[in-house]
């Protein structure tokens, strides 16, 4: 069983950086006289790259599990798992290439090494295409069902839009890179465009796969039954002030955890119902949840209202203030809908509150589109880190492509 939130020290990838620097220095030395006449045997270069990518995968996987134990709701979780899978595909190709270089060194030269590195993003794109195609088809089907049940709203088309972007990007690159003619300069420019496009596609693909993995882990985790507080995150209520099925699901999930904890350990917890009043709501979301909990037999003294928040981040910030006044050392869990756990956990950590989440189920056709919204929200909240990684990828593939021609 995975252990959530049990470490106080954040895992770092300093070992990966410490390994990358000497490998880069080795490559610079090996290619200082050009690809035609490397200073080191090509087979040695390839063996170093195989060892490097194998070690990098180990470091990423170790950092991933360390991140789960330190803070499972982190953007780093997405990066570690997404790029570990990509690194695995690169390692597989280089193991294949090393085998051929050892068997036939005359026909497998340093050019092949650089070419494989420069085309690694494009290769991963086509390698993972079957998964992306199935994922896109399932996303479209769920969106069509969502539109039939919930109506034609722009927000209900996000899944279809993402599906077309995924498939359209792969089809574009296949058509664009199918055949290139012209002068050496024209072919080089063609490859620069293809590899740059592949680098951008690679980044978002790794983020998507990483987000799916991180959400699955967050949804399947069941917190230990030792909690002092259970925050229930609010959402829209009905016109008569009663909870919608979505909000009732969050309350019921929290109630199930409360009853199970009390049965197994005898430990009580306090509900913090969190949510203000929207412009078209007759009462606050917190009051709506409070009334529902009372109707389910929860004593009034076990319910605390937080009625100021207007979004998830404020849910967490204002709830933390309330909890701090009652029991600053109390252990906290939160209840939301399954697709919303990961991003909610990120919001909790942003306000310096350690809390683990539980998720209520929702209708099958609603979950994928909502998960896409969460994915877009995650990307929007971490623009600086994304820009740094994407610029780094573009620079790496730009240099590798130039090396193939210069």
CATH number, residue 237: 3.40.50.620
Q: Which residues contact 310 (CB under 8 A, 6 or more apart)?
A: 276, 278
pLDDT at res. 22: 94
pLDDT at res. 196: 94
Instruction: List for the chain the helix, strand, coil content (%; round to 5).
Output: 70, 5, 25
Of the three residues 267, 296, 330, the one that is the final residue of a domain is: 330
- Average pLDDT of the chain? 90
pLDDT at res. 370: 77
Domain assignment present for 366: no
Residues 54-106: tens digit of each pLDDT: 999 999 999 999 999 898 898 889 999 999 999 999 999 999 999 999 999 88
Domain assignment present for 393: yes
Q: Which has the closest alpha carbon to 150: 335, 312, 359, 362?
A: 362
**Both 167 and 247 in a single domain?**
no
Which has more confidence, 35 or 54?
A: 54
**Both 48 and 119 in a single domain?**
yes
Reported as a pLDDT band with limits 50, 70 and 90, residue 366 is confident
Neighbours of 391 (CB within 10 A): 11
Residues 115-162: tens digit of each pLDDT: 999 999 999 999 999 999 998 998 888 888 888 877 777 767 888 888
Domain assignment present for 90: yes
**Both 26 and 171 in a single domain?**
yes
pLDDT at res. 157: 80
Q: What is the reported pTM?
A: 0.87
Domain assignment present for 355: no
Alpha carbon distances (Å) from 162 to 20, 371, 385: 34, 12, 22
Of the three residues 301, 330, 359, the one that is the final residue of a domain is: 330
Determine the average pLDDT of the residues in 370-396.
84
Domain assignment present for 160: yes
Q: Which has the closest alpha carbon to 319: 69, 260, 327?
A: 327
pLDDT at res. 274: 97
Output the CA torsion 206→352→275→338 (10° steps). 30
Domain assignment present for 343: no
Reported as a pLDDT band with limits 50, 70 and 90, residue 380 is confident
Of the three residues 315, 330, 345, the one that is the final residue of a domain is: 330
**Both 260 and 149 in a single domain?**
no
Q: What is the domain extent for residue 216?
A: 14-221+382-405
**Both 20 and 164 in a single domain?**
yes
Give the DSSP letter string of 245-288: HHHHHHHHHHHHHHHHHHHHH----EEEEE----TT-SS-HHHH
**Both 248 and 105 in a single domain?**
no
**Both 74 and 174 in a single domain?**
yes
| The two structure tokens encoding residue 157 | 């088309």
Determine the average pLDDT of the residues in 172-182.
83
Say which range, 104-113, 254-263, 307-316, 317-326, has the weakest mean pLDDT.
104-113
**Both 265 and 209 in a single domain?**
no
Domain assignment present for 1: no
**Both 172 and 321 in a single domain?**
no
Reported as a pLDDT band with limits 50, 70 and 90, residue 1 is low
**Both 213 and 245 in a single domain?**
no
Name the domain count of the chain. Answer: 2
Alpha carbon distances (Å) from 12 to 17, 62, 274, 313: 10, 10, 34, 26
Which has more confidence, 1 or 236?
A: 236
Place of tokens 């008569």: 240
Asked whether 260 and 302 are in contact (CB, 8 A), the reply is: no
**Both 144 and 38 in a single domain?**
yes
Neighbours of 128 (CB within 10 A): 19
Residues 178-198: tens digit of each pLDDT: 777 888 888 999 999 999 999
Strand partners, 334: 231, 357
Alpha-helical (H) ranges within 119-183 are 120-127, 129-150, 158-176
Residues 190-246: tens digit of each pLDDT: 999 999 999 999 999 999 899 888 888 998 888 999 999 999 999 989 999 899 999
Determine the average pLDDT of the residues in 331-347.
93
**Both 213 and 239 in a single domain?**
no
pLDDT at res. 51: 97
Give, in degrees to the nearest 5, the angle at Cα 341 between 258 and 343.
145
Asked whether 33 and 49 are in contact (CB, 8 A), the reply is: no
Rounded Cα gap, residues 208 and 88, in angstroms: 17
Q: Which residues contact 340 (CB under 8 A, 6 or more apart)?
A: 233, 312, 359, 370, 374
Residue 385 pLDDT more than 90?
Answer: no
Domain assignment present for 241: yes
Residue 371 pLDDT more than 80?
Answer: no
Reported as a pLDDT band with limits 50, 70 and 90, residue 44 is very high
């Amino acid at each position: 069983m995975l252990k959530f939130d049990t470490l106080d020290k954040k895992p770092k990838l300093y070992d990966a950086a410490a390994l990358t620097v000497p490998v880069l220095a080795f490559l610079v030395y090996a290619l200082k006289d050009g690809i035609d006449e490397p200073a080191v045997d090509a087979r040695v270069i390839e063996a170093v790259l195989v060892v490097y990518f194998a070690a990098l995968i180990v470091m990423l996987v170790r950092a991933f599990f360390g991140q789960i134990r330190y803070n499972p709701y982190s953007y780093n979780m997405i990066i570690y798992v997404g790029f570990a899978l990509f690194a695995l595909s690169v390692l597989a190709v280089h193991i294949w290439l090393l085998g051929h270089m050892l068997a036939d060194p005359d026909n497998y030269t340093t050019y092949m090494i650089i070419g494989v590195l420069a085309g690694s993003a494009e290769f991963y794109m086509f390698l993972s295409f079957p998964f992306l195609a199935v994922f896109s088809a399932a996303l479209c089907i769920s969106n069509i069902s969502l539109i039939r049940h919930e109506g034609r709203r722009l927000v209900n088309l996000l899944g279809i839009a993402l599906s077309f972007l995924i498939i359209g990007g792969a089809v574009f690159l296949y058509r664009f890179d199918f055949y290139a003619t012209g002068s050496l300069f024209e072919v080089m420019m063609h490859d620069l465009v293809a590899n740059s496009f592949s680098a951008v596609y690679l980044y978002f693909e790794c983020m998507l796969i990483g987000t799916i993995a991180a959400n699955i882990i967050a949804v399947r985790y069941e917190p230990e039954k030792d909690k002092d507080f259970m925050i229930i995150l609010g959402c829209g209520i009905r016109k008569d002030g009663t909870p919608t099925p979505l909000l009732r699901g969050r309350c019921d999930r929290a109630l199930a955890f409360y009853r199970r904890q009390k049965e197994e350990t005898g430990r009580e917890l306090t509900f913090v119902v969190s949510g203000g009043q929207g412009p078209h709501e007759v009462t606050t979301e917190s009051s709506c949840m409070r009334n529902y909990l009372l109707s389910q037999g929860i004593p009034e003294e076990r319910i605390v209202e937080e009625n100021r928040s207007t979004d998830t981040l404020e849910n967490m910030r204002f709830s933390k203030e309330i909890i701090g006044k009652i029991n600053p050392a109390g252990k906290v869990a939160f209840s939301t809908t399954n697709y919303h756990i990961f991003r909610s956990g990120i919001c909790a950590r942003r306000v310096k509150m350690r809390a683990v989440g539980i998720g209520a189920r929702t209708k099958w056709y609603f979950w994928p589109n909502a998960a896409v919204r969460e994915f877009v929200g995650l990307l929007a909240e971490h623009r600086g880190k994304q820009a740094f990684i994407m610029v780094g990828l573009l620079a790496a593939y730009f240099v590798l492509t130039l090396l193939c021609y210069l």
